[in-house]
A and B are shown apart, each in its own frame.
Chain A
Amino acid sequence: MSYRFLPHTADLIVEIKGASLADVFHDATAVVRDLIVGDGSVAATESHSVTLEAQSPDELLIRFVRELLTWFQLDTFVPAQLEIAQLAPSRMVATIRGEPFDDSKHEPQPEVKAATRHNLSVEETDAGWRAVMVLDL
């Protein structure tokens, strides 16, 4: 499983590749952590639970990333690990462990305003799963 950022003039495109849909969500968690604290380490001292439903895997992914971004803005929660209890293309039940943003070890990064639906895709390919998402910075 892996993710990379692709060039976009004003915003950010992230491409995630994984063997399974679960990999895509694990990497999406890592992407958000990366965008909030860069290389900084994140401890798993607090947790948030989430139950999400959507009509398609791309809608499920956007809802998930939005949740992570909102928790950061509301409680400065930085995600570290995703524990999936249930995952289907249209439903997810999971716990996300992490910690509040800590000035002493985390360097502030530019704000991610939102996850967009522009060119959004989550697809199963011959090589596994691939997701593309544009984030508004």
Chain B
Amino acid sequence: MSSRSSIKVSRIDAYRWRVERTGQMNTHGLIFADSELMRDLEGDQCIQQVVNVAHLPGIVGPSIAMPDIHWGYGFPIGGVAAFDEDEGVISPGGVGYDINCGVRLLSTPITIDELRPRLKSLADTLYSTIPSGVGSSRSDLKLSRPELDRVLERGAEWAVARGFGTERDLECIEAGGRLDADPDCVSNRAKERGRNQVGTVGSGNHFVEVGYVDEVYRVDAAQRLGLSQGSVTVFIHSGSRGLGYQVCDDYLDTMVQAAARYGIELPDKQLCCAPLSSKEAKSYLGAMNAAANYAFANRQLMSHYAREGLAAVFSRETADRTDLVYDVAHNIAKYETHVIEGKQRRVCVHRKGATRAFPPGHPELHRRYRDIGQPVLIPGDMGRYSFVLTGTDGAYAETFGSTCHGAGRRMSRHQARKVARSRNVLKELEKRGIMIRAASRRTVDEEIPEAYKDVAKVVDVVHSAGIGRRVARLRPVAVIKG
């Protein structure tokens, strides 16, 4: 297997770097970054992880990394890899523990000027109605086992059928908020862990963020998305919670054995995998999609409670006119059809810390957005800004219709805590007009803005490289953290 010393990286252009194929790699690596972001990668193992992914059997095209790449476990975070449906594999480590971790954005009919006098009230209301923090659960929604199975089978559709949202919401979710799942492939322990966590934020980098549109780059696209200068938004970041972690754990155990049985050599045990045609892969897909549906339902419920918060602080009409802009997964593996060397091929695309970014005209997009391309949501850190983009033909041609997913960490959590130790981060952010409500001070310290790369630079790279197109920038004013 390739060692770190044998990694050879060469610059292709201002935004692309090629990692040469060496040793037993089955393909080369392709990293999207400018010189400054590349410098940030020195000293950790993320390029080695791009190389490791390139060793997996049946990989089609390069092992790709987005400009927010950072060191993960198994795949790098910010990694994209596609696998041939006959020769390729599926790897739970290429999806991650938080299956269908993702983001969604709501547009409200209120302006930032209307919000300011009631901002504190809204922040407090959201903090009390959407449980956050480690192990957070909903005492008002503990699901029976049959009901949980319906969540796993129907995803956001289940939530809408229960009155937690509208049919229109489903049109604005990747895959309609429902993937083809098999709840029987999910273990009892995973189901037990998932019984009372639907509608909760969780911890770490997850959040509910109230913000506003502070810059519009493309007025026509922004209008179609319900975003205008000064309009207030609600950004939600969460995933499949304990249920997803347990599904990943369960199937990593399965795949460690499967990889040995199918004679797959692994440069990192966390990349354990099975051929897509195997029974192990089919079971994992059924379970992973069930966990993904749980995550879609989770974000749908969080939207419902955000709307209820807006109704309490503003009016029912405000809540009713709060629309879902879009909901995207950024930890997922999906079968998709792509054009490879002039031919249409069905491949299993793993996106771990990467966002689908389908171009205008793609048949999988709802007609609402088909002419402008898929909305892409890129959250930044809690002190600066986030971006809304749309998918492009460039992404479809070069990255299996994928782009970045966020800012990407540049500082370890330990380092961030050290930097934050002598400061009052809450006060600092409040002085800058950003209210924080958090279950844990340690989370806030670990999530200080400077712990992350500047997401504007990440977005500059994907926009300039043509794998995403800027629409608008959002500024946070209240952030609910775990």
Contacts and interface: CB of A to CB of B under 8 A. Distances in A.
Interface in B78-121: 93, 96-98
Contacts of A109: 134, 440, 442-443
A110 B70 CA distance: 19
Contacts of A11: 71-73
B268 A118 contact: yes
A9 B97 contact: no
A8 B43 CA distance: 10
A105 to B, nearest CB: 15
Interface string A1-44: 00001011111100000000000000000000000101000000
Counting chain B residues whose Cβ lies within 8 A of the other chain, the interface size class is 35 or more
A136 interface: yes
A114 B248 contact: yes
Interface string A93-137: 000000001000001111101101111100000000000001011
Task: Select the residue from A12, A38, A110, A119 with max chain B CB neighbours within 10 A.
Answer: A110
A113 B245 contact: yes
Nearest to B44: A9
A136 B202 contact: no
Contacts of B412: 7-10
Contacts of A114: 97, 245, 248-249
A82 to B, nearest CB: 21
A110 B74 contact: no
Contacts of A72: 135
A132 B246 CA distance: 22
A110 B482 CA distance: 7
B218 interface: no
A113 B245 CA distance: 6
Given A113-B97, A117-B252, A7 B135 contact: no
A10 B135 contact: no
Contacts of A120: 269
Contacts of B245: 113-114
Overall SS of chain A's interface: loop
Interface in B395-454: 409-415, 439-443, 446
B355 interface: no
Given A108-B440, A118-B74, A10 B98 contact: no
B203 interface: yes
A110 to B, nearest CB: 5
A119 B49 CA distance: 12
B135 A117 contact: no
Contacts of B189: 70
Contact of A110 (B269, B270, B415, B440): B440
3 closest residue pairs by CB, A with B: A118-B73, A111-B203, A111-B134
Interface of A: 5, 7-12, 36, 38, 66, 70, 72-74, 76, 101, 107-111, 113-114, 116-120, 134, 136-137
